[in-house]
């Protein structure tokens, strides 16, 4: 069963993304199975992990709208230079901003990510969630995990 950590703060520029990416890399380096979820439409955690957000076919957006599973949408980070380890990423890009509007009238809107994680919970030791700098439906999904 994975330990889930949600890195959230309503203020921007306080180190949420840096903390999440570095923690994911550090845990992977010591042999932990890690899934990092980027819930910020800016996609900086995705890019910071060596994944080009513009080339992702499926993202966390697709998982939240239940058109893809985490297994289908996850990507893998660049291998760490000195350790050769990597971690899985559920990436984000600009289209995630539209999820806020699309989730407004949907059932279980705050628990979409939690339900998707239940399917892969045994595949990871840690799940790290990078949230946007707001108390939004995206952040609420992260906190509900």
Give the pLDDT score at 64.
Answer: 96
Is pLDDT at 121 greater than 90 in this prediction?
Answer: yes
Both tokens of residue 71?
Answer: 């297994």
Q: Enumerate the H helices of the chain as residue ranges.
A: 16-29, 44-48, 60-64, 70-73, 97-102, 112-118, 137-144
> What percent of the chain is predicted at pLDDT more than 90?
81
Say which residue the tokens 């845990």 belong to.
27
Distance CA 134, CA 95 (A): 17
Give the pLDDT score at 105.
Answer: 87
Is pLDDT at 31 greater than 90 in this prediction?
Answer: yes
- pLDDT tens, residue by residue, 38-54: 999 999 999 999 999 99
- pLDDT tens, residue by residue, 61-98: 999 999 999 999 999 998 765 666 899 999 999 999 99
Give the pLDDT score at 80.
Answer: 62
């Amino acid at each position: 069963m994975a330990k889930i950590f949600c890195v959230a703060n309503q203020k921007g520029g306080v180190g949420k993304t840096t903390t999440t990416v570095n923690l994911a890399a550090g845990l992977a380096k010591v042999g932990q199975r890690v899934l990092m979820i980027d819930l910020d439409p800016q996609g900086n955690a995705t890019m910071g992990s060596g994944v080009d957000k513009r080339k992702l076919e499926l993202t966390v957006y697709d998982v939240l709208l239940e058109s893809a599973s985490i297994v289908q949408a996850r990507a893998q980070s660049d291998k760490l230079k000195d350790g050769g380890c990597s971690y899985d990423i559920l990436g984000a890009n600009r289209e995630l901003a539209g999820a806020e509007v699309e989730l407004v009238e949907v059932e279980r809107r705050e628990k979409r990510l939690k339900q998707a994680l239940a399917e892969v919970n045994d595949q990871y030791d840690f799940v790290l969630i990078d949230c946007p700098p707001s108390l939004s439906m995206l952040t609420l999904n992260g906190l509900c995990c």
